[in-house]
Structure 1
Amino acid sequence: MTPQEASRTAEKICRLAPVIPVLVVDQVAHAVPLARALVAGGLPALEVTLRTDAALEVIAEMAGVDGGAVGAGTLLSSQDIENAKKAGATFGVSPGATDRLLDACEANDLPLLPGAASASEAMRLLERGYTVQKFFPAEAAGGAPFLKSLASPLPRIRFCPTGGVSLKNATEYLSLPNTLCVGGSWVAPGDLVNSGDWAGITRLATQAAQLGR
């Protein structure tokens, strides 16, 4: 998969909804009902972060949920990429980008949303062919004002800002010409997941799906 093909696929995924839920799931039993709750609320693109021992099994379970597009987040190594692809991930997300990581995604045909936190990082990815990128950590790196400042000098790049994005500030990001969608964990808070309040998560997802419209 070429970087250009990866970015075309990443753009399609980013355009599915204004928010990509960033999910940290500890229990495999939560995978299917959580995915169904989010998809039902209008958020079909799901990022499962590889931050728990259950993450790969969670991806495998969510991959079978109708209407969902499940990806693996926090990809840090070629082994992460191979494991995520085997588990059923259809896209990947990384906090940053290295040549080795990009090579592995391209070799494994896993569309990547690579992370960038500066103009130089974004330009380096653009030089390789990645026109769709993750802006991370969004709030810590300068927030919506910083991202807005990149729009004119880097008009070919579109971003998915993630990191500190919430219901409170998501609209500010979504109003920018270089933002495709945002990534956020607020749509699946731990207390609702752990209590099995899937209806509550669907309500949050429905609210998030209307942002920026």
Structure 2
Amino acid sequence: MALNSSSASATPMNPLDIASHGPVIPVIVIDRVEDALPLAEALLAGGVKVLEVTLRTAAGLPAIEAIARNLPEAVVGVGTVLNADDARRASEAGARFAVSPGYTSEVGGACKGLNLPLLPGVATSSEIMAALADGFSFLKLFPAEAAGGIPLLKAWASPFGQVSFCPTGGISLATAPNYLALPNVRCVGGSWLTPADAVRAGDWARITQLARETHALRKAV
């Protein structure tokens, strides 16, 4: 049985709270629901508390529900939110925040109606302006490396001084510190914490070690 939306929004967060728990949000793709709990436990053991489980597979929603029910210490959210129905189903499953690869007012309005903090994706100045017009100022640059990466974020700092970012896409443990050094970057998103081969093999110790290395990164102040 899915969690109801009221339980999902019982402890509403300011969107910036998503970035307050650590420098990196893991972008998690789960193929088997039975991997959800040991994977989440491995990340928590390494100090990574905020978990973005994507809707790229059929296991995504049940995985979110399993983590939300059994690991309340985790801040589990939903990624790859493309429409209002995605947001509603994820909220009912227990997601505490949502992440979208792009931005539409439909998704923004749905998440506001659900009291579900949204980290909207942007790749252009026009998308930033649309998100700002709807009240969103903490945004995900996606796909970060392909869209322009650090030079683009530096260029946006002047016209969009009120905006902070979570760059995601093509970032690694080696390059994350370069992004975190930027004043307009709050955190980064990355899939390197949960390599597909480690998840398939149930190598949770490897994932915990990757989480420890990632959690040791520091946001420049």
TM range (shorter): over 0.9
Structure 1 residue 159, shift from structure 2 partner: 0.5
| Distance in 2, Cα, partners of 1:196 & 1:13 | 27
TM-score (norm 2): 0.90
Mean CA deviation greater in 115-124 or 130-139: 115-124
Q: Which amino acid aligns with 2:115?
A: D
SS in structure 1 at match of 2:26 = strand
Q: Which residue of 1 aligns with 2:59?
A: 54
Aligned pair partner of 1:94 in 94, 100, 103: 100
Percent identity over the alignment is 51
1:28: which partner in 2? 33
SS in 1 for 2:108: helix
- Residue 165 (structure 1) aligned with residue 167 (structure 2): no
Give the match for residue 44 of structure 2.
Answer: 39
Cα distance between partner residues in 1 of 2:81 and 2:88:
10
| Distance in 2 separating the partners of 1:65 and 1:144 | 35
Name the amino acid aligned to 1:209. Answer: H
Which residue pairs with 1:83 in the alignment? 89
Find the aligned partners of 2:143 and 2:18 in 1 and give their Cα distance. 20
CA distance in 2, matches of 1:12, 1:107: 19
SS of equivalent to 2:146: coil
Mapped pair 1:69 → 2:36: no
Q: By how many angstroms is 1:182 displaced?
A: 0.3
| Aligned match for 2:187, one of 181, 189, 192 | 181
Letter paired with 2:48: L
Any runs of at least 4 consecutive aligned residues in structure 1 with deviations exceeding 4 A, and if so which? Answer: none
Query: CA–CA distance in 1 between the matches of 2:155 and 2:216?
Result: 26
TM-score (norm 1): 0.94
1:204 lines up with 2:210 in the alignment: yes
- Select 1:156's aligned residue among 159, 162, 180: 162
Question: Which piece of structure 1 moves more, 119-128 or 9-18?
Answer: 119-128
Q: Could you say what the CA RMSD is over the residues aligned between the two structures, in angstroms?
A: 1.3
Letter matched to residue 171 of structure 1: P
Deviations 1:115-146 (A, max 9, x none): 11112211221122111111111001001111
CA displacement 1:55-79 (0-9 Å, x = unmatched): 1100011112142100000000111
Report what 1:3 is aligned to: none
SS in 2 for 1:85: helix
What is the CA-CA distance between 1:8 and the residue it aligns to? Answer: 6.5
Gaps of 5+ in 1: 1-6
- Give the Cα–Cα distance (whole angstroms) in 2 for the partners of residues 36 and 184 of structure 1: 18
Shift of 1:84: 0.2
Match of 1:18 among 18, 23, 30: 23
User: Residue 136 in 1 paired to residue 142 in 2?
Assistant: yes
3-state secondary structure, aligned to 2:166 = strand
Most deviating of 169-178 and 120-129: 120-129
Q: Which runs of 5+ in 2 are unaligned?
A: 1-11
Q: Report the Cα distance in structure 2 between the residues aligned to 1:9 and 1:41, rounded to whole angstroms.
A: 24
- Asked if 1:123 is matched to 2:152, the reply is no
